Structure 1
Amino acid sequence: MSEPGTFDVADLVAVDVHTHAEISADGHPSLSPELEAAKGAYFKASGPPPTIAQMAEYYRERRIAAVVFTVDAEAATGHPPIRNEEVAAACAEHADILIPFASIDPWRGRAAARRARVLARDHGVRGFKFHPSLQEFFPNDRMAYPLYEALEELGLPALFHTGQTGIGAGVRGGAGIRLKYSNPLHVDDVAADFPELPIILAHPSFPWQDEALAIATHKPQVHIDLSGWSPKYFPPQLVRYANSLLKEKVLFGSDYPAITPDRWLADFEKLDIKPEVRPLILKENAARLLHLDTRPK
């Protein structure tokens, strides 16, 4: 593996575009105890969440680069997020393997756009994560458009959670979290209105898988990550499109620590994916989208 502070794409086995920073340096969790417990039960995950330094060690051992982010949903949940600056600084300490994304609650209005520019300029953030169900907003709500304008100007990708979420699953009333916000069709408007904005639809978008495939086929800048599900549960149409029309727009993502890359990759090995498509999904598509060959050293 390359020395810290460098980034040797050729030496990587894969690029995981979807991992979560779940605890801050001072022990502050990214979710409330109720939601964290429910998520652990849903994904059958146990043990304390890893620190970002522990994540770096884990991924470095496997020669897998990882995009790391948290979720800022304070307006809807009342729970303060892990600071983006902390995530970015921790990733910078492990710049040979970790790629920092940020999350800004779109309900912060125009201040969100200003903050996005600062995070990109001063903290090396390489993309932004949105979780519409947790943040309680439709992606095509105009109040979020100044933020998208900033991201488009910066040339940084916007990654949107889509489909059902394990957060709140099994809790009374789903903890009040509404799935309607994460229908990928709402992101289609964003892709149409911001044609130069790179977009990632996170997860198999259950129950809207066909909608996600249609959008990614229709809009040149829309990609799909495969996180949050074991590949053995992928809908057949997702596998078919990943093998053909969308082979250059589908990305490996695990949702670590909810799902480990070890488990995901073992199940992906058994999936009926063409040999020439596997490296595209595991590394090459993400390296191109994230401009890893031009990453600051």
Structure 2
Amino acid sequence: MRKFDFHFHCDIDDSSKIAELAALCRKLDTVLALSGGLRYGSHDYLPNEKVLEICQKNPDWFVPMAKFDLWDTVEPDRIYRWKETGVKGVKFIYPYYPYDHDLYMPVYEACEDCGLPALFHTGSFRPGPADVEWKRPVLTNMSPFGLDRIARSFQKLHIVMAHLGTRLYREQAASLVCQHPNLYADLAGSGSWMGVQPEELERLFKPFPTAFLGEDIFKNFRKIVYGSDGYVSYPAPLSESQPYYERLLRLNNVPEEIRNGIMGGTAASWMGIPL
């Protein structure tokens, strides 16, 4: 089955690198959701308009997401305009206020109205010069707990918690994912997917005690989506992460139908992407 990577960064506009990435996608039979945007802490990626252009030139392998700048002012109507241009999802990272701040709620409402899934960075984030300039509580603002209010308030919005909260919040993040029907997680992190061992994944996502539930013990695994956290400038995580994801799932005896959903079917269905 063709795979779908929901978490990939469009960080450079280099035609040769983009062509190499498309060739790698063809080799791996994997479609990428590309996100760029400005203000990733102390650095910028490609503007959303350029990401859209790159995806339009490579429609077989690249799907555009737009990065929305959650800052001290916001313009929710921008979501509706992006939808009209062909954007298929929205990325959020490095907000001025916590993710669940009142100011940002109309933005998420617009995402729900437009049927655009939302990817939120959660957990650890490297310090940089922007932290000195803005002096924001970065980890607090991007805590997985901020997604609780959003998931409760917009129950038709598909939300993906990037990195499963990283090691800082992994336990709490998994509990939230298992609790909210519309909240999902990826294990992305340019290699940090190797930090989640099969035994830990089982403990985090299998219901307990299974003997008394009389239900699908793999139901919570359906809440994982594949994300590599690769970059156009550094695509190695795309090829390196796939066998590791699949190993994690096979060692937990996750059924093939659920594995196919994790490796692309679930997220692709939200965006209307045929696999």
Shorter-normalised TM range: 0.7 to 0.9
- Following superposition, the deviation at residue 110 of structure 1 comes to 4.5
Specify whether residues 242 and 53 from structure 1 end up closer, same or farther in structure 2 by C-alpha distance, changes over 3 A only.
Answer: farther
- Following superposition, the deviation at residue 290 of structure 1 comes to 2.7
2:185·2:225 contact (CA, 8 Å) conserved in 1? Answer: yes
1:204·1:234 contact (CA, 8 Å) conserved in 2? Answer: no
Deviates more, 1:147-156 or 1:281-290: 281-290
Alignment of 1:1-297 (within 5 A): 12=2, 14-24=3-13, 51-73=17-39, 77=42, 82-107=46-71, 109-111=73-75, 113-122=76-85, 124-131=86-93, 134-165=94-125, 167-168=126-127, 178-205=138-165, 206-228=167-189, 229-234=191-196, 236-242=199-205, 244-257=218-231, 260-271=237-248, 272-276=251-255, 277-293=258-274
Specify whether residues 252 and 215 from structure 1 end up closer, same or farther in structure 2 by C-alpha distance, changes over 3 A only.
Answer: same
TM-score, structure 1 normalization: 0.75
- Following superposition, the deviation at residue 248 of structure 1 comes to 1.4
**Partner Cα separation in structure 2 for residue 283 and residue 141 of structure 1:** 31
**Partner Cα separation in structure 1 for residue 254 and residue 95 of structure 2:** 39
Deviates more, 1:156-165 or 1:228-237: 228-237
**Partner Cα separation in structure 2 for residue 147 and residue 283 of structure 1:** 26
- Following superposition, the deviation at residue 231 of structure 1 comes to 3.3
SS in 1 for 2:171: helix
| One-letter amino acid of the counterpart of residue 252, structure 2 | I
- Deviation per CA, 1:5-41: give whole Å up to 9, x if none: xxxxx5x1x1111000111369xxxxxxxxxxxxxxx
Structure 2, unmatched stretches of 5+, are 207-217
SS in 1 for 2:4: strand
- Following superposition, the deviation at residue 137 of structure 1 comes to 2.6
Structure 1, unmatched stretches of 5+, are 1-9, 27-49
Identity, % of aligned positions: 26
- Following superposition, the deviation at residue 292 of structure 1 comes to 1.7
| One-letter amino acid of the counterpart of residue 62, structure 1 | L
**Partner Cα separation in structure 1 for residue 129 and residue 72 of structure 2:** 28
- Following superposition, the deviation at residue 142 of structure 1 comes to 1.2
TM-score, structure 2 normalization: 0.80
1:216·1:224 contact (CA, 8 Å) conserved in 2? Answer: yes
Q: State the Cα RMSD in Å.
A: 2.8
| One-letter amino acid of the counterpart of residue 79, structure 2 | A
